[in-house]
């Protein structure tokens, strides 16, 4: 198996001075890519294309995630804010378009249609989620499940290529890794009043909170108010429990694998999630 270097390969498409100077990009989907690369490498027929497939999926996912960061509110923006917004649009389009070129150069035309179909499904899932958000029809657990599904959907396109035990284990491992990523991101949203709105914690309080708290959440939320809610409803400890459960499930699945090499990759992923959780909890 070739060593994992997808983030290094993607850097030449991502690390442009103008982008880094004037705007921010979303986090690179590294855990899912490490899992994908490792699992593809366990298949004799897929191993030669494991780097290519992982790279193109990384760019498509990064393109969609970048577009998700675009502010759609119709408000006046400063020149810097406008430049940042325009660069996100262009960067997202650029990342998404490069997979066509990479796959066509490699003669992998069939994968173009599979990835395009996966993108359409991701967009359908997003529209379903956004519609429920606008109608305030979401429960906190449903929200978490839908975000996990959104994170994993692009990578699910490989399910039909899996063989043997991976036919069953790939979706399970992918869901656990995606859920760990989702929960960690939701923990980070505690620290930002601007990101608290419509987070898992927001929907939890809208589900369990008092009418007064729910009314306050419909307006601009201050950091002190969020801090009080965080303690009252034990929001952080709830997410810690969810992350530990997903991490334990990932370890349990790893124990069913025959490949020691793949077991090590998955154990490292599970450990990294717990380390990030511990660092956030200490902070």
Are 118 and 156 a contacting pair, CB within 8 Å? Answer: yes
pLDDT tens digits, the chain, 283 residues: what are they?
678 999 999 999 888 877 777 788 899 999 999 999 999 999 999 999 999 999 999 999 999 999 888 776 666 667 777 778 788 888 888 888 888 899 999 999 999 999 999 999 999 999 999 999 998 889 999 999 999 999 999 999 999 999 999 999 999 999 999 999 999 999 999 877 878 889 999 999 999 999 999 988 877 667 888 889 999 999 999 999 999 999 999 999 999 999 999 999 999 999 999 999 999 888 7
Say which residue the tokens 């063989």 belong to: 163
- Regarding pTM above 0.85, the answer is yes
Predicted pLDDT of residue 246:
98
Predicted pLDDT of residue 72:
61
Are 262 and 42 a contacting pair, CB within 8 Å? Answer: yes
Sign of the Cα torsion 82, 84, 89, 90 reads positive
Domains of the chain: 6-282 (1.10.600.10)
């Amino acid at each position: 198996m070739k060593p994992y270097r997808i983030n290094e390969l993607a850097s030449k498409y991502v690390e442009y001075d103008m982008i880094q100077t004037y705007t921010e990009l979303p986090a690179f989907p590294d855990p899912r890519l490490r899992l994908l690369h490792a699992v593809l490498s366990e298949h004799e027929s897929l191993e030669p294309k494991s780097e290519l497939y992982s790279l193109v999926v990384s760019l498509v996912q990064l393109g969609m995630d970048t577009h998700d960061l675009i502010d759609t509110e119709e408000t006046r923006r400063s020149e810097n804010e406008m430049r940042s917004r325009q660069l996100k649009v262009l960067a997202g389009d650029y990342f998404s378009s490069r997979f066509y070129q990479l796959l066509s150069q490699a003669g992998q035309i069939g994968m173009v249609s599979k990835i395009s179909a996966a993108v359409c499904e991701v967009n359908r899932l997003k529209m379903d989620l956004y519609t429920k958000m606008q109608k305030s029809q979401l429960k906190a657990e449903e929200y978490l499940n839908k975000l996990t599904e959104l994170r994993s959907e692009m990578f699910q396109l490989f399910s039909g290529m899996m063989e043997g035990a991976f036919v069953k284990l790939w979706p399970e491992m992918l869901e656990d890794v995606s859920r760990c990523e989702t929960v960690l991101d939701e923990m980070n949203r505690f620290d930002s009043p601007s990101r608290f709105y419509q987070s898992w914690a927001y929907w939890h309080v809208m589900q369990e909170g008092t009418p007064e708290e729910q009314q306050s959440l419909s307006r601009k939320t201050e950091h002190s108010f969020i801090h009080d809610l965080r303690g009252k409803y034990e929001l952080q400890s709830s997410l810690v429990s969810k992350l530990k459960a997903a991490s334990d499930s990932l370890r349990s699945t790893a124990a069913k694998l025959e490949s020691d090499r793949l077991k090590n990759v998955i154990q490292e992923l599970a450990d990294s999630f717990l380390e990030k959780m511990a660092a956030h909890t200490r902070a």
